[in-house]
Structure 1
């Protein structure tokens, strides 16, 4: 079964960049494209059209948006199988439901209302936090046209084996015939003296060595046959978000994981997620740890 690439549309420039990127991704992967417009975008972002017509304004706006988006995709690539739908629901709920049957959800980084003054829209954050599958957010700085570098960057955390994010990044690198950059960041505990990680026998050297060994263990399981993409290792002392943002320069995609725990705050993203979603120079894929492709 070919799961579609799903893109959320609200008519903003950010969502149009996401639409163009999603169309290129669908063409590259030979997957159908599904354009989804939540009919309550204006209610969610705090804006209502000022014109008055015989039909509800939301209905007119929704019909115009999806028709224009479908035409835009067909002009970009006539071979992409594309459908556009209006879901009578809050956009976050609509897209989270779509994530059950999507290869990925693609979103722009900003909405059209007051939230547009922020670095990242509330819809993108909420969907990335609640989606059942990968969510790719296209930042303003990223090109809507697919990069040709083929390089995918992924953060390797503390889990003993490959995370869902690592597996997704590996598959992305394979499909792009490109390279995987695996980043493992480490920091000394606050009660330990900081020194240079290359000084033999120092606490920093021990932490650096442990990080290298952990990374190798994860990659050995991730690429059991050794026939996968070229893998570049990056073991960095310092904050994980900083290491990832720096490594993502010139990359096709940066991939990070997201924990799905219990309780009422299960959908909250971590600090690393927030940082890379706000400042990464390329598309960011957030993959929940419960995701299984």
Structure 2
């Protein structure tokens, strides 16, 4: 049995956009959808107040949020099976637990106001950094969220973060029937010595060749497995975060990997992942790689 897509909802406009995106994704993949709203309303309002009011206002709000989200999902695509729950827990803990039994976890960016819309909420950031399944943060333009560009961007990093992300990107491209732009950024170190025989003459050319080889090696298995996917290989000199932000400007999805190290806690995204989650102009999928 396929695991559902899980969506964290909080009533904000960005979380409703996440619901819309997840409904479309569930329909493409033939998955069910699970909507979750987590709130510690019992702790904040207290037992005495609950008795005084008969029913806590925060509980009423939580149930309204999950009911409205469920109605929105069913209206968008009645064929997608939707379940919804309110959990009296802290959002981060609840969603991390839900992620253990999910095909992917989908969140909104949780921004507020014109400036804050560029920034990521703490719950979404924690999910992207710690969840055991792929996490999609739904952000960017309406065209990108609706998948009208016909293009997915895959950031190809080192082997420790790449295999699972590459597999997901190819599956998405095949399911959507769109092109895949596999991108590898490279840089020539400013203070690199030219004493090494391979670097003599044109160090930049050497690094470009190495980036090209790394990209080909990384894609080889999935290219054979998904022969129908149109793949564009892009080698660009520059900082990875800037290169990927530029390439994702007219994409429907940006896919990156994130290493999950056993025994390590806290955020495990790195500077590139942080930058893309905060500023990309399209939805971002963060795919964990165990190691």
Partners of 1:182 and 1:207 in 2: CA distance: 18
Cα 1:143–1:12 change in 2 (3 A) is farther
1:117 Cα offset (Å): 7.1
The alignment partner of 2:7 has SS state of strand
* Residue equivalent to 1:81: 81
The alignment partner of 2:221 has SS state of helix
Partners of 1:105 and 1:41 in 2: CA distance: 23
Cα 1:145–1:139 change in 2 (3 A) is closer
1:151 Cα offset (Å): 1.6
- How does 1:208-247 map onto structure 2 within 5 Å? 208-225=208-225, 227-247=227-247
Counterpart check, 1:139 vs 2:139 = yes
1:240 Cα offset (Å): 0.5
* Residue equivalent to 1:171: 171
Deviation string, structure 1 residues 177-232 (Cα, Å, up to 9, x no partner): 111111101111231389xxxxx941001100111111111111222356141110
The alignment partner of 2:276 has SS state of helix
Cα 1:281–1:112 change in 2 (3 A) is closer
Given that 1:132 and 1:290 are in contact with CA atoms closer than 8 Å, whether structure 2 keeps it comes out as no
Deviation string, structure 1 residues 65-123 (Cα, Å, up to 9, x no partner): 1111111112212111101111221111111111111111110101679x967711001
More helix by share: 2
Deviation string, structure 1 residues 134-184 (Cα, Å, up to 9, x no partner): 100011534585213332111111218952111111111111111111110
Deviation string, structure 1 residues 228-280 (Cα, Å, up to 9, x no partner): 41110110111001111111122110001111124454533210111101111
Counterpart check, 1:279 vs 2:279 = yes
The TM-score normalised by the length of structure 1 is 0.86
The alignment partner of 2:159 has SS state of coil
Given that 2:144 and 2:252 are in contact with CA atoms closer than 8 Å, whether structure 1 keeps it comes out as no
Given that 1:111 and 1:123 are in contact with CA atoms closer than 8 Å, whether structure 2 keeps it comes out as no
Cα 1:156–1:141 change in 2 (3 A) is same
| Residues paired across the two proteins, number | 279
* Residue equivalent to 1:94: 94
The alignment partner of 1:10 has SS state of coil
Given that 1:14 and 1:140 are in contact with CA atoms closer than 8 Å, whether structure 2 keeps it comes out as no
Cα 1:268–1:220 change in 2 (3 A) is closer
- What runs of 5+ residues in structure 2 fail to find an aligned partner? 45-51, 195-199
1:54 Cα offset (Å): 2.7
In the TM superposition, structure 1's runs of 4+ consecutive aligned residues that sit over 4 Å from their partners are 41-44, 115-118, 142-145
1:58 Cα offset (Å): 2.3
The TM-score normalised by the length of structure 2 is 0.87
Cα 1:42–1:69 change in 2 (3 A) is farther
